[in-house]
Amino acid sequence: MKSDHIKNILKLLVFSVTAVAPFSVFAHAIMVKSQPEQNAIIATSPQKIDVWFNDKVGSEYKAVAVIDSKGNRVDNKDVQQEMLDSSHLYCTVPNLAPDTYTVRYRVVSIDTHIVTGKFQFTIKP
């Protein structure tokens, strides 16, 4: 009896997820590409950090920050959005020393949800 209950709850859950997913997936921003790529190991410092999303994102509240392994923010705090492709954000960085860096981003999706995420890349000595 109890397991029947659980089965019914599971059915409901599956139904509501599949019913809602097409709408939320459609408008919710997801990072699809970056330069440097996630977990890339590169030999020289990039000059800028590029992040692309699956859909255009809002121009307000956008943020891209690059943080070194000690927790210091090292980017030039100059996040930009490409004029002709608003799914693309980028910021510049000074010449970075060998280290593992974390890129953190925050954008507002078309559906007004705020999306945050992070990825890492390493500059080898």
Q: Which positions lie near Cu ion, rule CB under 5 A?
A: 28, 109, 111, 113
The token pair at 65 is 């920050």
Q: Give the span between the Cα atoms of 78 and 11, in whole angstroms.
A: 48
Backbone angles phi, psi at 24, to 5 degrees: -70, -35
- Between 99 and 111, whose beta carbon lies closer to Cu ion? 111
Does an H or E element contain 9, and which? Answer: helix 2-27
- Nearest to Cu ion of 20, 63 (CB atom): 20
Q: How far is the CB of 105 from Cu ion (least distance, A)?
A: 15
What is the closest distance, in whole angstroms, from the C-beta atom of residue 70 to Cu ion in the complex? 33
Residue among 41 and 114 whose Cβ is closer to Cu ion: 114
Query: Please, what is the minimum distance in Å from the beta carbon of residue 28 to Cu ion?
Result: 3
3-state secondary structure 89-108: EEEECCCCCCEEEEEEEEEE
